[in-house]
Amino acid sequence: MQAFEYVNPEFFWLLLLLPILVVWYIWQRKRQTAALRISSLKGFKTPKNWLARLRPVLFVIRLLALTAIIVALTRPRNVDESTKIKTTSGIDIVMAIDVSASMLARDLKPNRLEALKLVAARFINARPNDRIGLVEYAGESYTKTPLTSDKGIVLSSLKSIKYNTIIEGGTAIGMGLATAVNRLKDSRAKSKVIILLTDGVNNSGAIDPKIASELAVEFGIKVYTIGLGTNGMAVSPIGILPNGKFQYGNMPVQIDEELLQEIAKTTGGEYFRAVSTTRLSEIYEQINKLEKTEIEEFKFKSYDEKFRPLVLLALALLAIELLLKYTVFKSFV
């Protein structure tokens, strides 16, 4: 990026001297010009002398030289600035997302899963310097995307997440957490974080959530837990119609908040409750602020000084003035 600047702009005040010098020159010239008064010029030849009239050119040249010197004193220059950013302390983040059938509940619009994907995408875009991975879990869990700094891959994988019958039904919080821990345990990042989101209770899976929490602590992983869903009742899938579509009805919202709070506390994270899309967005923004990536910025500046040509111009003008003064205008000085 290029910019133009004056290092010493205060010298521009000296330009105020120029009008004073002009007035002084006019006053002095009138005083120094001799006048002879006679009754008539008849009998005298009075040829026009253009050199006498052009003598003020010497003063103009001197003013121009002075102006160039004043501008040179301000040190005009071009500044070319380049920036190099170095990430000094990256963060590895795995987002463990519940994809059980209850995530299709419509208390968040259009449903919990789609609302989550929208908010999570904004969170991913806000972490350009970190590696992010995705884990899906329901009754079992698997890695959707390993840790990567390619946000395009992560966002594409996030967009493709949907409820399916391939994963065993249920909510295996322990399995989801353990899979996320497994993705981070060999990470060399200075900070390792799991964002675990669920809208239910742990009712399946071979790994106890408390054991998975202890594994996270052992590998220095912090877990932020989010309980998703409104308080009371929510319009949720209660069955499958003959055409294969879900039948919806009011179902009580059951979230094991005590377990999620314990996981967060054990690992040094925090627990959040999201009862709306707006609140979910606020939670991700809060996590984004809590987990800051240290970035070191180096700025390199190169300067192209412009005062030298002005000094040379001033010297050239003064030389021209002296040359004219002692040659062409010699008889008038």
Tell me the average pLDDT of the chain: 86
Rounded distance between C-alpha atoms, residue 119 and residue 214, angstroms: 29
Same domain, 265 and 128: yes
pLDDT at residue number 210: 94
Give the three-state DSSP class for 72.
Answer: helix
Could you list the residue range(s) of the whole structural domain that residue 248 is in?
91-292
The answer to whether residues 296 and 16 touch, using CB atoms and an 8 Å cutoff, is no
Q: Tell me whether residue 111 is in a domain.
A: yes
Same domain, 77 and 98: no
Which carries the bigger pLDDT value, residue 170 or residue 135?
Answer: 135
pLDDT at residue number 252: 86
Does 36 score more than 60 pLDDT? no
Rounded distance between C-alpha atoms, residue 109 and residue 111, angstroms: 5
Same domain, 256 and 279: yes
Q: Where does 99-244 show beta strands of DSSP type E?
A: 131-137, 141-148, 191-198, 221-228, 233-240
Question: Which range has highest mean pLDDT (46-50, 65-69, 223-227)?
Answer: 223-227
Does residue 110 have a cis peptide bond before it, meaning omega lies within 30 degrees of 0? Answer: yes
Which carries the bigger pLDDT value, residue 45 or residue 230?
Answer: 230
DSSP string spanning 23-42?
HHHHHHHHHHS-----S--T
Same domain, 279 and 328: no
Does 83 score more than 70 pLDDT? no
Does 219 score more than 70 pLDDT? yes
Which carries the bigger pLDDT value, residue 132 or residue 244?
Answer: 132
Rounded distance between C-alpha atoms, residue 176 and residue 97, angstroms: 8
Q: What CATH number has the domain bearing residue 193? A: 3.40.50.410
Same domain, 256 and 123: yes
Q: Tell me whether residue 42 is in a domain.
A: no
The pTM of the full predicted model, rounded to 2 decimals, is 0.62
Same domain, 138 and 265: yes
Same domain, 70 and 217: no
Same domain, 286 and 304: no
pLDDT at residue number 148: 93
Q: Tell me whether residue 231 is in a domain.
A: yes
Same domain, 328 and 229: no
Q: Tell me whether residue 38 is in a domain.
A: no
Q: Tell me whether residue 22 is in a domain.
A: yes
Write the pLDDT tens digit of every residue in 277-312: 999 999 999 998 888 765 555 667 788 888 899 999
Rounded distance between C-alpha atoms, residue 100 and residue 140, angstroms: 10
Residue (of 310, 320, 325, 327) closest to 73 by Cα position: 310
Count how many domains the chain has.
Answer: 2
Same domain, 105 and 200: yes
Same domain, 106 and 54: no
Does 18 score more than 60 pLDDT? yes
Write the pLDDT tens digit of every residue in 89-140: 678 999 999 999 889 999 998 999 999 999 999 999 998 888 999 999 998 9
Same domain, 311 and 170: no
